[in-house]
Amino acid sequence: MSDPFDETICDRNVSSPPGAARKTESSILLVIIAGSEVDFGRHFVLEKEEATIGREDGSDIVLHDEKISKAHCAISVVKGGRGVERIDIRDLGATNGTFVNGEPVSRATLTAGDKIRVGDTILQLSYGDQIEREYHARLFQLAARDALTGLYNKRYVLNEAENHFRIARRSGRTFSMIMIDIDDFKRINDRHGHLAGDEYLAGMAGVLARSLREQDIAGRVGGEEFLVILPETGLEGAFQLAERIRKNTEAFTLYRQDAGIRATISCGVCQYDQTLAAAQEFIDAVDQALYEAKNSGKNMVRQALLSGLENEGQ
């Protein structure tokens, strides 16, 4: 059977003639070209013999699309003596079906350039070297990252909050969120200028990133406001982490020629509860806890208990 990637794959076992340019090592890629804006530009390297696509953890490729089934479809890379012999896709009984180039399929063989639609997401099969992989990664970073701080931007982190909320409602998994606001940030801008304020925000983002675990998701959602999503974390763990962030921020100093700039933060913490009807209600609860921390003297953590009770720490 002919190799669907004959035009791109080179045989690593064949020596090139002297002076001939050798091709850069390439990979089989799936690139998101349409669908969720926060996913646009993401790419996945097909390294396993079979990779599943779905909307929840457990799939090899997890997509942010409510119309995708938990286990939607699978892509198999079949190898022979010459390398990749063919690439197959098969539907796993998905509610909304799997489409290749606009046609519904239960099983099909793919070629480079084919477009796969699952839910509202379209992925294109391609073949790329390290340069192309970096290009697609850069596209995704530009779409998802805040330019000033390097943290995720508001659109991305709020979308992640929605995704984690849906997963928690379906699976019963717990997660928590922390809302953070820099106390009296306007004073930094007024005393030292907006450039200093921007430098402090970038420094604060570094403090935040160093305080978090690998699985935590942090984003800038306002001028000096940040939201942190903590998967598989209860209220006590979230409170302890918020306290660590608060103390690390209190100890942080931005040194400039004219002065050392220091500030404090206030934090609101909340754990997911099944009584919540929507992700926005959850965000409102953690934001209200932040508001209470501000009104109670700043530089503290308030945790919102959905029963209406609140505890504070300092």
pLDDT tens for each residue of 107-157 = 999 998 999 999 999 999 988 767 766 766 676 777 788 999 999 999 889
| Helix/strand/coil for 46 | coil
Is 50 catalytic? The answer is no
Work out the percent of the chain whose per-residue pLDDT is above 90: 61
DSSP H helical ranges for the chain: 130-144, 154-171, 185-192, 194-211, 235-251, 279-295
65 close to 36: Cβ distance less than 8 angstroms: yes
Rounded Cα–Cα distance for residues 30 and 126 (Å): 6
pTM, 2 dp: 0.68
pLDDT tens for each residue of 66-110 = 899 999 999 999 987 777 889 999 999 999 999 999 999 999 999
When pLDDT is averaged across residues 163-189 and rounded to a whole number, the result is: 91
For residue 301, list its beta bridge partners: 267, 313
pLDDT tens for each residue of 212-261 = 998 999 999 999 999 999 999 999 999 999 999 999 999 999 998 878 99
Q: Is the pLDDT of residue 12 over 90?
A: no
Query: What's the token pair of residue 177?
Result: 């969120």
- List of residues 6+ apart from 43 with CB closer than 8 A: 29, 30, 31, 32, 128, 133, 136, 137, 140
**Which of 160, 162, 199, 224 is labelled catalytic?**
224
| Helix/strand/coil for 116 | strand
More confident residue, 248 or 28: 248
DSSP H helical ranges for 172-234: 185-192, 194-211
Q: With CA atoms as reference, report the closest residue to 173 among 84, 90, 58, 257.
A: 58
Q: With CA atoms as reference, report the closest residue to 35 among 140, 130, 170, 158.
A: 140
State the pLDDT confidence band at 264, using cuts at 50, 70 and 90.
very high
Q: Is the pLDDT of residue 22 over 70?
A: no
Query: What's the token pair of residue 55?
Result: 């909307």
